[in-house]
Amino acid sequence: MAWWVSSSKLDLFNLARLKAKTRVHQVLINEMLFIDDAALVAHSEESLQRHISRFANACTEFSLTISLKKTNIMSQDIDTTPKINIGDHTVKVIYKFTFRDSTISSNLSLDAELNISIGKEATALTRLAKRVWDILLTLTAKMRVYQSRGLSTLLYGSELWTLYLQQEGILNTSHMRNFRRLLGIFWQDRVTNIVILSQAGIPSTVASLTQ
């Protein structure tokens, strides 16, 4: 798997430079280092095996130990499953990986991360039922709590998302379901989503993502 970063001196926030084609170059990222983790990136199975072997040799030189149980391989957009070894150990291939509450899938889809985010939001809102939703708080107070606990949980990490219309619909459905519950409005009442958003004073999830 290769990650290509198009940039001008890697200044991703200077839009004027990004538009200047003559000053844009490509950078191939081979490794990413975190606090106590390392992620190796390659565009072929042979290249990845070579990187991992070199990394394992370096760890041996510095008397460091690789946690084989925590070391996994994920392939994206390829037809064959890679087989990577560290010594005599064959590294496990996974199809979904979560790091810092963000989920990456081998099929390049956001569906798994969206489902996890919706589940976390539902759990957070359920825990607040007796302390917030079921007591006599003003609607404004409830909406502020929802924004700080529910909506922030749902959209955590969303700055990295690239959504399709179907996925935007899934987020909006969850969003509106929570509003109807907090406002005490049921589908039999035939109240449109526009009216509900107006009463809640909070924009749709797509509008929130755009902001």
Mind listing the pLDDT tens digit for each residue in 108-153?
888 888 888 888 888 888 888 877 877 767 888 888 888 888 888 8
The token duo for 165 is 């219309």
* Residue-range domain boundaries for the chain: 3-94, 109-210
Q: Phi and psi for 73 in degrees, rounded to 5?
A: -120, 135
Give the integer Cα–Cα distance in Å for 169 and 177.
Answer: 12
Report H helices in the chain.
Answer: 15-19, 45-61, 111-127, 139-145, 152-154, 165-183, 193-200, 205-210
How far the first Cα of the chain sits from its last, in Å, is 32
Q: In this structure, what token pair is assigned to residue 62?
A: 């510095």
Residues in the chain, total? 211
Nearest Cα neighbor of 42 from 79, 3, 7, 98 is: 3
**Token pair 């798994």 in the structure block, residue:** 112
Say which residue the tokens 């084609």 belong to. 21
In angstroms, the CA 178 to CA 142 distance is 11
pLDDT score for 89: 92
Q: Which tokens go with 194?
A: 């526009």
Mean pLDDT of the chain: 80
Report the share of the chain in percent with pLDDT over 90: 9
pLDDT at residue 208 above 90? no
What is the per-residue pLDDT across 62-116, written as a single tens digit (0 to 9) for each? 998 888 888 999 888 787 888 999 989 999 998 888 777 778 888 888 888 888 8
Q: What is the structure's pLDDT at 8?
A: 39
Measured in degrees and rounded to the nearest 5, phi and psi for residue 93 equal -95, 130
